[in-house]
Chain A
Amino acid sequence: MIRFDNVTKLYPNQNNAALHDLTLEVEKGEFVFLVGPSGSGKSTFLRLVLKEERPTSGRIRVAGKDLHRLSNWKVPQLRRRIGTVFQDFRLLPNKTVFENIAFALQVIGKSRRQIHRDVPAVIELVGLGGKEDRLPDQLSGGEQQRVAVARAFVNRPLILLADEPTGNLDPATSVGIMKLLDRINRTGTTVVMATHDQSIVDQMRKRVIELDQGHLVRDQSRGVYGYAR
């Protein structure tokens, strides 16, 4: 599903590479934690998958497509098959919960009937039933993140990328979000989650990929958070 071959990413103003000769593969349906200290390249990895950045060298394949050969006008199509959840939720502030989620369907031209069928279902799935008409600033952090997850999932994407989704949430709420992501993963969606949250990683015992200053230092099947020594 996601395949990196000798990928190096060097940002223009920096001396050290954000990612250094990274080779790894994520299979369909896997749940992968991406851990490492700040600046280790986790966010860069996710941005490369979305083609928000281009690698300085190396090859990236996502859902079978070579990103290098993907033309610019086809990139939106790629992104529709990838759901994203961020630490800062990234909801549209002037739209309600329903509209925020529906947005993901509207931009790909789904009909109103489809939208009114799919959106309520996913709202129930994330546990926000009854709050469809609230605006983001009327929701708690956990609720906003649920909306983000719902938006990411409503299109049944192949991959769900999460960049520190529990970063702004308290431990109890974080658990709720993780349960959600786990459920989504069980439906067959590949999940890659970058995180600092040690307890969650230790609890869930999924595959752990550890980066340190752009290098791959650990790739463990049922791993824990702890830094490699």
Chain B
Amino acid sequence: MRLQYIFSEIGTGLRRNLTMTLAVIITVAISMAFLGTGMMLRAQAETMKGYWYDKVQISVFMCNEYDRGERCADGLVTGEQKAEVEQVLTAHPEVQTVHFENQEQAYEHFKEQFADDIADSITPDQLQESFRVELKDPERFEGVVSAVAGLPGVHQVQDQREVLEPIFRAINRVQWGAVIVAATLLVAAVLLITNTIRLAAFSRRRETGIMRLVGASNFYIQLPFILEAAIAGLIGAVVACGGVAMIKVFFIDRGMAPSFRFIDAWVGWPEILAIMPWLLVAGVLMSAVAAFFTLRRYLRV
């Protein structure tokens, strides 16, 4: 096999069929950019989920001396009751960490959050001691809640459910949506790229016919075409990677993030860079495979 011949054929082929080459590049670039955006969306949802996961806490408030009602009939929580609650919590398989906040610490936090004159009218013993529980899987809080809710000395268990459940639901939906969108775009990309390459093969049928006449083997005829398609696909995929990077810079870093400063959960460069190899591989593979199959039509002996 003459390597030099093949390289020169590829070079001239790309140049002389420039329109077709550009068509393949653009098709791959657009398809892969869409696919990359879909993957980015999924990564973004994942990042946000991770951010919120870290914030989920279960707060188990213990009775103080002023609490009344059926839960705290016995008044201030005793050391034994606290010990029991702590033991139940640490033993629970879903619990990651348990952190105790006494009334002084609660008072400090209270002062940070509220204005001074309100804080002055409250004394530490009016606040409650609490266990702050972090979970391994924040979506599985129900088990822990039911484990401690009925224990003596427990005034209230706050599981932030009302706040966070809608958020998790929304994020999960976005993730599913992104996956479906990405899969649909992948199918669309395959169809588009195949179609463009079929056009390219058709426009070369005369050359292909002459090559067959002169006695070129199918391999010799196909290889330059497949490699041309692969190179065009690679260029298109690189353009798509550039597009995805630009979305990150202009849309996220400069667009969304500054407006939503309280959320620190934006998809970062590592995730973006992890998407790029997939786009490159997909672009090259789809072009090369499409080239192989579409040219075969004109090579039947």
Which residues of A line the B interface, CB within 8 A?
50-52, 72-73, 75-82, 84, 90-94, 103-104, 106-109, 112, 151
Contact = CB atoms under 8 A, between A and B. Distances in A.
B18 to A, nearest CB: 12
B151 interface: no
Interface string B196-217: 0000000000110111111111
Interface in B207-236: 207, 209-218, 220
A76 B215 CA distance: 4
Nearest to B13: A94
Given A51-B301, A75-B301, A76-B216, A109 B211 contact: no
A107 B9 CA distance: 11
Contacts of B4: 112
Q: Give the residue among A75, A106, A112, A151 with the most B Cβ atoms within 10 A.
A: A106
Nearest to A108: B215
Given A92-B210, A94-B12, A76 B217 contact: yes
23 contacts: A51-B301, A52-B301, A75-B301, A76-B212, A76-B215, A76-B216, A76-B217, A76-B218, A79-B212, A79-B213, A80-B214, A82-B215, A84-B213, A90-B213, A91-B210, A103-B211, A103-B214, A104-B214, A104-B215, A107-B215, A107-B217, A109-B2, A151-B214
Interface of B: 1-2, 4-5, 12, 16, 206-207, 209-218, 220, 301
Nearest to A94: B16
B198 to A, nearest CB: 21
B1 A72 contact: no
B1 A109 contact: yes
A76 B220 CA distance: 11
Q: Give the residue among B16, B214, B216, B220 with the most A Cβ atoms within 10 A.
A: B214
Contacts of A72: 301
B207 A92 contact: yes
A92 B301 CA distance: 20
A33 to B, nearest CB: 22
B45 to A, nearest CB: 50
A41 to B, nearest CB: 20
A73 B221 CA distance: 13
A106 B5 contact: yes
Given A81-B215, A103-B214, A108-B215, 4 more contacts: A93-B206, A107-B211, A107-B216, A109-B1
Given A90-B210, A92-B207, A106-B2, A80 B215 contact: yes
